[in-house]
Amino acid sequence: MLARLVPSSPNCDVPPLLGIFYAKFDSHLGPRILCQVPPDKQFIECDLFDTVSSFIITKSKLVDQLVKVDLADVKIIGCPKAIPGNQYDRNAYIFNVCFVVANTKTNDRDYVYEPLVEKLAKTLSAILTKLYNELNETGRSSIILGDHYQVHLALLDHRPSVPVVTSSMAPVLCTKVGKLLANCSDQVLRRLLPLINGFDSVSRLSSAAKVDIEITKQCLTDAAVAGVVSFVPALQYKRCYMVTPKIGTLYRDKALQQHLCQTVKLRGSEMPKFSDVFRMLCMLNPTLKLHEWSYSCAPKNYHVHEGKLIQYALLKGLIRQINAYPILLTNRNPKFDGSVSRIDCQQLDGGKSIEELSVNANVHCMTAEEVFEESPHVILIWK
């Protein structure tokens, strides 16, 4: 039994379009309908489809030809396509996008759908061919239909590790924001990208963009997996920093030295000397807070933007920030004064830094640090 569905048509002289389906040849099951619109309506019974399927998924003689199947209640109009390839069964990927039109007997103007079916078949074939060629050649491909619908595909050499994004982290762009905005269809990311400067935390970006913090985290996580952003600890002048073993790589890598100097140069000033930049980095140590380092080194006198220097060194792993991790020494939940009471004592297990705990509870970081340092129930581990 065929479904008797006759939706209203904008043109009463044209038989109504009941639906569209996509069919392909399955090596085990034969011709099969993979998807259809509307998805909840059955235009043709399975037994009847098996009877006429040879006119939907056809042999080579009917490929690229308009085929119309005239049934009792409906007409199926399709244009079977085949993409040649030895990797496919029958040495070709055979598919068809068919229009299902009401068979009213008194109206034979269904021919108006024929050029649409042919054009759609050619377009889909061109899209699949484009995907096949570009993914094999470059590993990337894009499908752009009109001004609002875009699909961007890219092969990854390996599955990247998904970063754990916390509210206290600061995202850093990995390419120019203008280029990213031109190819970005994610509306949340489009709101966040212009605000990313490498210094503001995820929490501050969320507030500035007026986007929910959890949505912001997920969006930036996806962006990090795609290689759009990276993360560094937010710049803290009351924190200490120290060099890592990778500082030796900087000493030997001339290209990295040049890139570093170009990145940290003050706008409108001359290029800083690498020896000065390297000396300033090596002066960072676990007992010297960043504001003290800034005062003693005076980076501006050497044409160096100190914020960009710290940011670049963190991003390349040349230095790291030393953070405090509070551990609760009692099984009871002590009462802390003021806003620090909003911090969940169950999280004081040494697994989260004061920065992360403070941002999550909307507490000033230094206030929390002072309270924890004075409390006999908490010990701070610096690492």
Which pLDDT score is estimated for 160?
Answer: 58
Which pLDDT score is estimated for 318?
Answer: 95
Dihedral, CA of residue 207, residue 209, residue 214 and residue 218, to nearest 10: -140
Which pLDDT score is estimated for 4?
Answer: 39
Q: Is 179 exposed, middle or buried (0-12, 13-18, 19+ CB in 10 A)?
A: exposed
pLDDT in tens, the chain (383 residues): 333 344 444 455 678 888 888 888 887 888 888 888 887 777 777 778 888 888 888 888 888 888 988 888 888 889 888 888 787 777 788 888 888 888 877 667 788 888 888 888 888 878 877 887 887 787 778 887 766 677 777 766 555 567 788 888 899 988 777 766 666 667 888 888 889 998 999 999 999 999 999 999 988 988 888 778 899 988 889 889 999 999 999 999 999 999 999 999 999 899 999 999 999 999 999 999 999 999 999 999 999 999 999 999 999 999 999 988 999 888 777 888 788 888 888 888 888 888 888 887 888 888 888 888 888 888 888 88
DSSP output for 168-226? TEEEEESS-HHHHHHT---HHHHHHGGG--SSS-HHHHHHHHT--HHHHHHHHHHHHHT
pTM listed for this prediction: 0.56
Q: How far apart are CA 79 and CA 99, in angstroms?
A: 10
Domains and CATH numbers, the chain: 17-139+143-151 (no CATH), 169-233 (1.10.10), 240-322 (no CATH), 324-382 (no CATH)
13 φ/ψ angles, rounded to the nearest 5 degrees: -85, -5
Which pLDDT score is estimated for 1?
Answer: 33
Q: Which two tokens stand for residue 81?
A: 């396509």
